[in-house]
Amino acid sequence: MALKNYTSSVSAAKSIAYIEAKLAQHGARQILKIYDAAARVSGICFIVPINGVDMPFKLPARVDRCEQILSNNLSRRARPETHKKIGEQAERTAWKILSDWVEIQMSMIDLAQVELLEVFLPYVYDHNKQATYFETLKKQGYKALLPAGTEKGKS
């Protein structure tokens, strides 16, 4: 499996700063970093006014999942120091991929291919539920996406 940016040397801090700059250029009025228990940035929250309403979003960088995938893809002959550094590499890789994704989405917005809300809709954040729109849909079994009168598993 070919993994994008799996050897990235771009620091997480640089990728995060790039994301913040892109968000600000595209109307973000507030940007907040979320930290995990290990004091690593695990996500970025931001607010963009859409049709006069401040819309909150939350973009996650799931470093732990990235680390698991990178570990699973290490060669059996990988050096012990490679295994020790996999967490740092996972952090760089996860943030670089998110940075690339944001850059591409913003280019599509700039070229009038999509609207900001169209791209970031899954990441609309409900502070009361502490969940994104996607997380809420997933928790409900995606029922809101099914046509009226349709039950999961029935056609």
- Alpha carbons within 13 angstroms on the beta-carbon side of residue 43 total 15
The verdict on residue 20 lying in a domain is: yes
pLDDT digits (tens, 9 = 90+) for 34-48: 998 988 899 999 999
Q: Quote the domain boundaries for residue 71.
A: 12-130
State yes or no: pLDDT of 153 exceeds 60. Answer: no
**Domains of the chain: total:** 1
- d(CA 152, CA 150) in angstroms, rounded, equals 7
The verdict on residue 76 lying in a domain is: yes
Higher-scoring residue by pLDDT: 10, 78: 10
Compute the mean pLDDT over every residue in the chain, rounded to the nearest whole number: 88
**At 86, which helix (H) or strand (E)?**
helix 86-110
